Amino acid sequence: MRGIRYFIGRIYRYSGPILLYNFIAMLFIGVLQSIGFVFIIPLLNMTGIVALDMSSVPVVSDLMGKLEGIANEQSLLAVLIVYILLIVGQSLFNWHLSMQNKRIQQGFIRQLREDTYRSIIRANWSFFLAQRKSDLVKLMTTEIGNVKKGLNYTLQFLSSLILTSVKVGAAVILAPGIALTIISIGAALLLCSRYFTRRAKQFGYDNLMLSKVYAAGITDHLNGMKDIKGNTLETAHEAWMTDLCGQVERNSIDFAKLKASSQFIYQTVSAVLLAIFVYFLLNMFQSQPAELLLVIMLFASIWPMIVRIQISVEKLAAMAPSFESVIHLQQLCLSERELGEEQLAHDRRINLRQGLTCRSVSFRYNREREHYALNNVSLHIAAGGLTAIVGASGAGKTTLVDMLMGLNEPECGEVLVDGERLTCDNAIALRRSISYVSQDPFLFNASIRDNLKLLQPEAADDRLWKALELAAAAKFVKRLPHGLDTFIGDRGVRLSGGEKQRLVLARALLREPSILILDEATSALDTETEWRVQETLARLQGTMTMIVIAHRLSTIRHADQVVVLDGGEVRQVGTYQELANERGGLFSKLLGKQVGVPS
């Protein structure tokens, strides 16, 4: 329950003294309920429903003695009025506390969602490489939702605890022996119920793991639906779903069985205890009806509160894994934090003048393994030029670009920006100067206009159309029924691969960056469109620094510099023509494979 205690502390820090005031008010409600409980006995006696001798019952006998001096009708009316006022006052306090607690819960959960998302989005790139997106989505939705439920159960538990304490105090005053006996048995039962609490927590862990597998699987299947349908894999994935749903069903049924078993035990113990009390009071101690009524009323008042506390503990135990998973993620994000308030406070951009330099840079994704994604890489990318990075798949091209953007931190060596070492202090200023276009276009389920204005919210329509023209996208956008206001679906599903790439390229150019990075950003374009985009890039040479990762070597003929990577190492550097003329060189071999000419 460490996670629950942690969040109780956080919700107290969030709400301040208001939470304490609420608990104090809950004490007052308990007092009102206890007073109402005391008034029921004389009320029953005065109505003639039962005739009881209350002389042996403290507090109640004093109250009835004071009422004896008042006319019967007047005393009955007075008791009824006081009783009504007590119930109304208690209800008003309950209403106020419910609204206050709801405001605290909603405000705290809103802050928790914001803080968690802020922690995630400010973590470094290595954090995202190690996490499944589906796990992060599930935590931001389901697990925080479970924390919200758990906090509600926690407040209910604390409220029940306070009310029970007040009622126990009142019961001890009225009938000390009976009350203490009930409390002792209830406490013993709560201690014995630790078995159910441990089992509930284990069910919570099992449910958390199954739900992670479920969310990850569904995400992967939906992302790969074209492959599933194209390769007729429907049956295999249906079998996976059937098996997983069977596990979820069994876990849920077992948990329901656990809850039903615990409730059965509590209800059975309640009936047995009440029967034993009545039997002993009647046959062993020759108790009077007044004492029997008091026993039944005390039992009916206190015992359900004890049972409610135990049920709340079981519910909290089942929610504990969700609390712990949120805490773990926040702590992990804190340890992997990249951006602080200081870095985000300024809007400085770097206007690259000299260039980007790698000096003996080495990098491994997993430092426990010997394999280097980049090994002793040294190169210079001149400002204003077009540098192409080529190589086979897995050569380290994207890793190098990530290093130049400050997403990866070198294990050895350093990256320089205009001669200044790239650190967390200037990484944001560098990225504000970059427009990055990946091979997997990133588009929202929104209009073309909204997607284009993601980086430049204030851009006017004429700038949007200019960027579309540069990206060879204006023609197809004009053909759409709603032009810029056309909605493109989830991740741009209503557009072709080439159309998506052109939109993302237009968005990058709209920013007017100092550095433009294209990571296979034209791979889905047809020959004519790609030629037009290459013309645009040629016109932009000299106005910005361009870094292009390319597999189709014919697209980089106009590059000022070509860097050839292999196995994470720089094998060749030179112009396109120089490298093409190097017989036996790696670039010449790659070129020969693409054009079908021996190197």
Specify the fold of 2-335: ABC transporter transmembrane region fold (1.20.1560)
Mean pLDDT within 97-108:
83
Task: Say what the alpha-carbon torsion angle 337, 338, 344, 347 is, to the nearest 10 degrees.
Answer: -170
Identity of residue 374: L
Domain 2-335 and domain 348-433+555-594 have a common topology: no
| Terminal alpha carbon distance of the chain | 68
Identify the band that residue 45 occupies on the pLDDT scale cut at 50, 70 and 90: low
**Tens digits of per-residue pLDDT, 191-235?**
767 777 788 888 888 888 888 888 888 888 887 787 787 778 888
The Cα 561–Cα 386 span in angstroms is: 7
The Cα 382–Cα 575 span in angstroms is: 13
pLDDT surpassing 70 at residue 418: yes
**Tens digits of per-residue pLDDT, 308-332?**
777 778 788 888 888 888 889 988 9
Residue 561 has a pLDDT of 93
Helix locations, 406-514, DSSP H = 424-431, 448-452, 461-470, 474-479, 497-510
Does 528 or 255 have the greater pLDDT score? 255
Stretch among 228-237, 490-499, 521-530 having the lowest mean pLDDT: 521-530
**Tens digits of per-residue pLDDT, 4-28?**
778 778 877 888 778 777 777 777 7
Q: List the chain domain ranges.
A: 2-335, 348-433+555-594
Query: Mean of the per-residue pLDDT values for the chain?
Result: 80
Residue 62 has a pLDDT of 56
Residue 213 has a pLDDT of 87
The Cα 499–Cα 473 span in angstroms is: 7
Q: Which of the 8 DSSP states describes residue 555?
A: G
Helix (H, G, I), strand (E, B) or coil at 52: coil
pLDDT surpassing 60 at residue 149: yes
In the CATH scheme, what is the homologous superfamily, with its name and number, of domain 348-433+555-594? Answer: P-loop containing nucleotide triphosphate hydrolases (3.40.50.300)
Give yes or no for a contact between 536 and 473, defined as CB atoms under 8 angstroms apart. no
Q: In 10 A of CB 85, how many CB atoms?
A: 12
Residue 566 has a pLDDT of 92
DSSP class per residue in 182-237: HHHHHHHHHHHTHHHHHHHHHHHHHHHHHHHHHHHHHHHHHHTHHHHHHTT-HHHH
Give yes or no for a contact between 212 and 133, defined as CB atoms under 8 angstroms apart. no
pLDDT surpassing 70 at residue 432: yes
For residue 333, give every residue at least 6 positions away whose Cβ sits within 8 Å of its Cβ, in sequence order, or none.
Answer: 116, 119, 120, 122, 123, 127
**Tens digits of per-residue pLDDT, 460-488?**
889 999 988 888 888 888 988 888 988 88
Give yes or no for a contact between 524 and 532, defined as CB atoms under 8 angstroms apart. no
